[in-house]
Amino acid sequence: MVDQDPDVVLELQKVCKQYAGTDTPAVEEIDLSVRKGEFVTFLGPSGSGKTTTLNMIAGFITPSSGRILINGRDIADLPPHKRNLGMVFQNYALFPHMTVWDNVAFPLVERKVAKETIRTKVAAALEMVHLTGFEKRRPRELSGGQQQRVALTRALVFDPPILLMDEPLGALDKKLRQRLQLEIKRVHRELGITFLFVTHDQEEAMALSDTVVVFDRGGIQQVGTPDELYRRPQSRFVAEFLGDSNLLEGALRRDGASWVLEAKDGPIHLDGWAAPEDVTPGEHCLMFRPEDVLISDSADAADDWKATVREVVYLGSEERVIVATESGGSITVRLSGDALQHRPEVGQTVALRFSARNAWLIPPGQ
């Protein structure tokens, strides 16, 4: 047992995984603390190390080095079934020959819980996920969403300190996926236990999480709330992976009390920009999200940029407009609300203006 913050339920210390015969670690020296009751999502592209990390926590993969602590106890030598962690897989892993009731009761039976306690806990768990009345059905008689809820219930019924979920919604259609996201969020709120969720879907991570851990190339790129990651990414990778972004390079210079970015296609006056205290003039990269770029039929100011509309993507409540600037760069603009009444046409020449209030300076070298 080691001394640590009592609110920390999981801690990874310099955890590394390198497979035999490979030159590059699958996971390289990860440090991470997870607090009790948090909903934490591991987000990243395929091969980024997020699932390998989850499997090391679960006990399915042995770390090459480092320590994994649960409530201060190093569990590296414990087999999966002795870690007392809940697990929901992408394919649900339900027992096809068992009823819903027996599937949910299975972890309690294995732990030799009293029969009356099993009856009480299983009934309450099924009621929580709105599956009362489905007790005698088998997995093949359930929809994908119902199977997912059975898997979730089975993983929670024995009150684990942490629930691990490896892309549990990946096989579902978008509408059902969104509905079950709300179910999972509700269950987390009601139970208050720690959830660790793996996904490659940025929108899913933003919708569900208290904290998002962004993985890339076997390492953690950034940890933060969805808003922090979206508005204040610490690298180009995070800026581009979490939603659409426009990264504009140029020389920053002072203009009285304000700043100006001298970019390839012209100056951008950063009126209202909350510049970092340590920012200095020179070459920098600024990020503008698509909703912070304004588009119009004609230029109203000398520093408006001219651009040509290359693509308009209809997304229902909004449109994504991709334009080419005179220097050959590409800018993404998001139109919503009243702006949709003035949607541009492909091939049209438009003017761009940047709202600098939410502009973010990407740290040098990142």
| Distance spanning both ends of the chain, measured CA to CA | 38
List the domain boundaries for the chain: 8-239, 244-361
Q: What is the pLDDT of residues 212-268, one digit of tens each?
A: 999 999 999 999 999 999 999 999 999 999 989 999 999 999 988 889 999 999 999
Q: What is the pLDDT of residues 171-222, one digit of tens each?
A: 788 888 888 899 999 999 999 999 999 999 999 999 999 999 999 999 999 9
Give the pLDDT confidence score for residue 1 in this predicted structure. 44
Residue 44 has pLDDT above 70, yes or no: yes
Averaged pLDDT, 73-80: 90
Q: What is the pLDDT of residues 113-166, one digit of tens each?
A: 999 999 999 999 999 999 999 999 999 999 988 999 999 999 999 999 999 999
Sheet with 360-361, side-by-side order of all strands? 266-269, 258-263, 246-255, 282-288, 360-361
> How many Cα atoms within 13 Å fall on the side-chain side of residue 174?
2
CATH value of 8-239 in 3.40.50.970, 3.40.50.2000, 3.40.50.300, 3.90.340.10? 3.40.50.300
Residue 287 to residue 232: CA distance in whole angstroms: 9
Give the pLDDT confidence score for residue 40 in this predicted structure. 98
Q: What pTM did the predictor assign?
A: 0.91
CATH for the stretch 244-361? 2.40.50.100
Contact between residue 53 and residue 215 where contact means Cβ atoms under 8 Å apart: yes
Neighbours of 298 (CB within 10 A): 9
